[in-house]
Chains A and B, each alone.
Chain A
Amino acid sequence: MQKLRDEIVAKCKALLEDGTVDRVIGWEKGLFDYDCSPATFTKENIDELVYNEYCGSNLSKYLVKESKAEGNVAVLLKPCDTYSLNELLLEHRVKKEKIFVLGIPCGGMKDEKGELLMKCNTCKGNEHKIADEVMDSDLTVPEARDRFELVEKLDGMTPEERFAFWQGELSKCIRCNACRNVCPACTCLKCVFDNHASGIDSKANADSFEEKMFHIIRAFHVAGRCTDCGECSRVCPQGIPLHLFNRKYIKEINELYGEYQAGETEDSRPPLANFTKEDAEPSVIYEKGRD
């Protein structure tokens, strides 16, 4: 890992030296070994860049801000992060011409306890979907489990059991909005939940309805655009399995409208902004799981 890090720094230095880019978005060391933070580097401090197994955060969302600033920017993206960048490009949220994508290999990322991050359990593989250059490495990605395992388990429960499960999970929500703010698909300039004029903004869940409302709408808004990067669940201070909302939508979309992986390419059409005349009727929901 240290060797890879040194190679990445050398590559970034070269990019900064020859003027290809003015800044590099990467990670810097935190207070301990396990708390690396995203950071922007220039020629002066590029040596402080780190890359290790605690660099789980997805840097693609920072490009929305960075690609609007002056100068060009290089970004370090792991294979799964490149899906998010494709999605941002598809939605014209970032300017590709200002970005140099340095694809970096990944062998699975860990949380502060040293365990594999939830999102790495269902790894999408080691292929960078978009990159100007990919660093070589002998890292192997972790073995992927079936990502719909838990969704199917929930689908198999009775409605009462499901309700109890989600009520328990969602009642922990403190409405910090971390899941929304970290999400590379959530790039509205003004979120409806921040807009007082919308009548539904709320800074705290005063009623259990509000936590359901927030999470249903948050997941719905990214349905068909969510690349399943897993950042929402990674950042939740309460450990709510938010990715299970997104994966439910992904699973339904795959089953009803054909396999679709958001961010696979930068010119696909999101399934909820699309239709066919032969689409299933909404009543398909009532027929499902009825015994």
Chain B
Amino acid sequence: MYKLSIDNLNELFALIGQDSKVYAPIERAGQVEFFLWSVEEKVRLDALNTVKSAKGFFFPQTEVLYKTKLEGKKIEIEAAEDAEEPTVYFGVRACDVKSFDVLDKVFLSEPVDSYYAAKRKHGTIVSMACSKPADTCFCGLFGIDATSPAGDVVTWIVGDTLYWDSKTEKGEALTVKVKELLVDADDVEVKKQQTEVKEMIAKAPLHDLSLEGFGGDALDELFNSPKWEALSSACLGCGTCTFVCPTCQCYDIRDYDSGHGVQKFRCWDSCMYSDFTMMAHGNNRTTQLQRFRQRFMHKLVYFPANNDGDFSCVGCGRCLQKCPQSLNIVKVIKALGGKKND
């Protein structure tokens, strides 16, 4: 394990940035998101959750797949921009790192999504342990330890010191690159912080949720539950929950006609929208109840049924914070499943 002073962060980013792009939580117009780092930007490592999750690194909100150009009767096809550039993603929280596992299951299983795979292959994830979990956090429910996230390099911030521990080959390579800024360190401080934070998590308001009763086997029972009506009645049908969610992975592929060519692009789609998976005969799901149910059934039942019981939620709590009418997955879990000691 190594350490470096927080004051040297910009040097660290500059050094990494010499031959790769660096993304970090950066504040712009009052909101913290992952943006490309430059020395003028205001890095906010203290922010717990960015508004949008980290999934956009590998699965951007819009992404051009290819372009065609029409000149006379000649059509030219141009491939999408190169995603081969090495990129370092700094300050990814444990829940977001876990979300990459969920996305990998979708995009890296056959047929492999080459756009996603290319970005994933050239990305190095520097994760950051949480020191102050929010009331809305419940990552523990999905077996995530917020105090020791996965990732190529794991970092902890204790006071004014950043602790650095590489976990994979990619992480080793990055460590070698920035070695000149790092100092050898022991893990006493980190261990101490981990113990403290674990105590905080054990006392957090959502620590006692249970997923008992969810999973692939409960399909019929949950699908037909009469509780969906009350749960979904206030839903506005906006896409906030799906767009801030780190694991929502549905997308639409569209053409943009620029007048002298077409850009084929894909963009995030939301199962909350009335035109989601629209087909010639109309939409499969005609009411908001059905759309609402689809979102949570997908996360808690369909996904585990197809992926060895792994849920497609990581407990980041973004939907709890952002839903305009405060509907969210925890309310669904509580209403349909069990709560320990209940």
Residues of A within 8 A of B (CB): 30-32, 35-40, 57, 62, 112, 168-169, 171-172, 174-178, 180-182, 190, 194, 196, 201-206, 231, 234-235, 237-239
Contact of A239 with B320 in the complex, beta carbons under 8 Å: no
Contact of A237 with B322 in the complex, beta carbons under 8 Å: yes
Contact of B275 with A176 in the complex, beta carbons under 8 Å: no
Contact of B237 with A181 in the complex, beta carbons under 8 Å: yes
Contact of A204 with B268 in the complex, beta carbons under 8 Å: yes
Report B-chain residues with C-beta under 8 Å of the C-beta of A231. 324
Other A-B contacts than A30-B326, A38-B325, A204-B62, 19 sampled, CB-CB below 8 A, are: A31-B205, A31-B206, A31-B331, A40-B233, A168-B28, A171-B29, A172-B31, A174-B61, A177-B238, A180-B238, A182-B238, A202-B267, A203-B269, A204-B61, A206-B62, A206-B267, A235-B324, A237-B244, A239-B30
Contact of A196 with B275 in the complex, beta carbons under 8 Å: yes
B141 → chain A, closest Cβ, in Å? 14
Contact of B243 with A38 in the complex, beta carbons under 8 Å: no
Most buried by A among B30, B243, B324: B324
> Residue B327 at the A interface, CB < 8 A?
yes
Given A57-B325, A174-B52, A182-B324: A203 touches B238 (CB 8 Å cut-off): no
Complex alpha-carbon distance, A35 and B254, angstroms: 37
Complex alpha-carbon distance, A202 and B334, angstroms: 35
- Would you list which residues of chain B between 252 and 276 have a CB under 8 Å from chain A? 252, 254, 256, 265, 267-270, 273-275
Chain B, interface size category, equals 35 or more
Contact of A37 with B61 in the complex, beta carbons under 8 Å: no
Complex alpha-carbon distance, A174 and B55, angstroms: 14
For the complex of A and B, list the 5 residue pairs with the smallest distance between their C-beta atoms, beginning with the closest.
Answer: A235-B324, A204-B267, A35-B326, A178-B238, A181-B236
Residues of B within 8 A of A (CB): 28-31, 33, 51-52, 61-62, 135, 205-206, 230, 233-234, 236-240, 242-244, 252, 254, 256, 265, 267-270, 273-275, 278, 320-322, 324-328, 330-331, 334
Contact of A40 with B230 in the complex, beta carbons under 8 Å: yes
A67 → chain B, closest Cβ, in Å? 14
Given A177-B238, A181-B238, A239-B30: A205 touches B233 (CB 8 Å cut-off): no
Report A-chain residues with C-beta under 8 Å of the C-beta of B256. 206
Contact of A178 with B236 in the complex, beta carbons under 8 Å: yes
Contact of A239 with B31 in the complex, beta carbons under 8 Å: yes
Contact of A39 with B234 in the complex, beta carbons under 8 Å: yes
Question: What would be 29 A-B contacts, judged by CB atoms less than 8 Å apart?
Answer: A31-B205, A31-B328, A32-B205, A39-B230, A57-B325, A171-B28, A171-B29, A172-B28, A172-B33, A174-B240, A176-B239, A176-B240, A177-B238, A177-B239, A178-B238, A178-B239, A178-B324, A180-B238, A181-B237, A182-B238, A182-B324, A182-B325, A190-B274, A196-B278, A203-B269, A205-B62, A206-B267, A231-B324, A234-B324
